[in-house]
A and B are shown apart, each in its own frame.
Chain A
């Protein structure tokens, strides 16, 4: 099958690639753009590990094709910290509160929480749990993640 030319903005930089239409955005980011911070867990939209922002909205990058992201602005976990390396408030909160163990699900949780808090900077605890319900973690037991979310919410709303 034919390959498609794909031009998009990733983390503020214009990027080009060629891919078959069936290549997901997640695979394109990882294999073609070498942005391996986006992780793939289930590859069918259940685990949330591959969450990125497309035109500002958090989406599962395994559930869209790279060709569909042509001309879009994509933000991945690599694009969250400031250029000088200082961490985004959500990243910082995950570190402070031990919101991770093995770290595999973490990029998805951080991207989800980042988008969620931009939309709702002062969430209730129930809203935080609802907001995180589309992401799966198999080691923390979630308590550190919830603590990190509460801390990040406090920082972002103040």
Chain B
């Protein structure tokens, strides 16, 4: 359980990070909190000639409001985001973070690291996708902004190029009568989710759904939007029995895999219940607002 040898780089600016990453291409890997990467290195599931440590890059830390978005710099620790009062503006983010690992993991793990790692069973990619967040990437060619829907390509795979790093994530702030819910099924607290969901609902003055955003995690190779269920919700004022149908619609957009932890059938069954429950809770919160 010892990682293979690597050359260690510890830049202090984003410009230096990009220069090192661009020089070494796919032989280099950036390390953020390391809570997923170090186990993979230790088990020798992967190895890199160069590790580029982002932990001393001060400009990659911090949380600010900008043009209606909550902008979280990539190296902001999950524990710091969990406690930051500004994060209350994005309840999905605030409520999803405590589901990540254990508090010791969140003390090291970062918001950007979890998103760039793109584990399909992890919480923050689903939050990013549900809210149509945007990701600021920086590379040799300069900066570009990518929609979450274009960022998650496959399991552990994103549209980040070899010479690019994630600088920040822009989470839209939902105003108005909104409700939110985050839920997951795991065997033990802190384990990888067998299936999970994030849901945001906005209702109008008559309690009808104006906006709905639902994303699953652990239900496919990437976080998955439940577009059919969202479309069915918008403009409606769903009753409890309608929500059963919403659950079935939501899970129909997913393609969960079977693994040693759960069968595809189990995930599909659980996914429908999660959607019904998450929509019910988010709707209740929105209507009471």
Contact = CB atoms under 8 A, between A and B. Distances in A.
B43 interface: yes
B103 A131 contact: yes
Interface string B37-63: 011011100000001010100000000
Contacts of A62: 38, 42
18 contacts: A1-B5, A20-B5, A22-B2, A24-B42, A27-B2, A44-B43, A45-B105, A57-B107, A58-B103, A60-B108, A63-B105, A63-B108, A64-B38, A68-B34, A68-B53, A116-B103, A133-B102, A133-B188
Interface of A: 1-2, 4, 20-22, 24, 27, 42-45, 48, 51, 57-60, 62-65, 67-68, 112, 115-116, 129-131, 133-134
B238 interface: no
Interface in B1-38: 1-8, 10, 34-35, 38
A4 B10 CA distance: 12
Contact of B104 (A20, A21, A27, A48): A48
B189 interface: yes
Contact of A58 (B38, B51, B104): B104
Interface in B82-114: 101-105, 107-108
Nearest to B41: A22
A23 to B, nearest CB: 8
Given A43-B42, A44-B43, A64-B38, A134 B8 contact: no
Contacts of A133: 102, 188-190
Contacts of A115: 104
Contacts of A27: 2
A45 B51 contact: no
Nearest to A56: B107
Contact of B6 (A21, A57, A59, A64): A21
A62 B3 CA distance: 11
B4 A22 contact: yes
B104 A64 contact: no
B79 to A, nearest CB: 7
A22 B43 contact: no
A1 B51 CA distance: 13
Nearest to B43: A44
Contacts of A22: 2-6, 41
A63 B34 contact: yes
Contacts of A42: 1
Contacts of B103: 58, 116, 131, 134
A2 B7 CA distance: 7
Given A44-B39, A63-B39, A68-B55, A134 B104 contact: yes
A42 B38 CA distance: 13
A116 B106 CA distance: 13
A43 B105 CA distance: 14
A95 B42 CA distance: 34
Nearest to A22: B3
Nearest to A112: B104
B42 A57 contact: no
A125 B144 CA distance: 47
